Amino acid sequence: MNTEVIFYPVLAQVFLVIFLFMLLGKRKLNAAKNKSVDLKQAAVNNKAWPSDVVLVSNNIANQFEIPVLFYVLSLVTYMTNSVSFITVTFAWLFVAARYCHAFVHVTNNRVPIRFRCFLVSVLMVILMLVTTSIHIIV
């Protein structure tokens, strides 16, 4: 298997983060245009923004938690030549779950659905960790 394929889901995850930053900028611009935010307060307190802005901002913060483990694990998998169909499948499922999590978070923010997406992403990282660890140890 071409080991570089582990980076396709990584790039898809990075694209998600870039998209979220663009969405954040758009929502902040709209809030400023509509005068629905006190910009002096928003400069020192993220919670001063309208809830649609805060949701995106919170989701961006989430993209630097479990996904950081995914990035590191993807590199370890590549560097140890542990890339397999199974690890790449887990990586894509992780990214799909993160897209689902982000979509729910920045739209209707239904916490039970968002939490299920989060759990799937964590499970995929755990499965990637286990399969990569087995490959390295055995």
What are the b/e assignments for 85-119, b being 16+ CB within 10 Å? eebbebbebbbbbbbbbbebbbeeeeeeebeebbe
List the CATH number of the domain containing 123: 1.20.120.550
Q: What pTM did the predictor assign?
A: 0.94
How many domains would you assign to the chain? 1
Q: Which residues span the domain enclosing 38?
A: 3-137
Q: Is 109 helix (H, G, I), strand (E, B) or coil?
A: coil
Q: In which band, very low, low, confident or very high, does the pLDDT at 46 lie, cut at 50, 70 and 90?
A: confident
Residue 103 contacts residue 49 (beta carbons within 8 Å): no
pLDDT digits (tens, 9 = 90+) for 53-100: 999 999 999 999 999 999 999 999 999 999 999 999 999 999 999 999
Amino acid 72 reads V
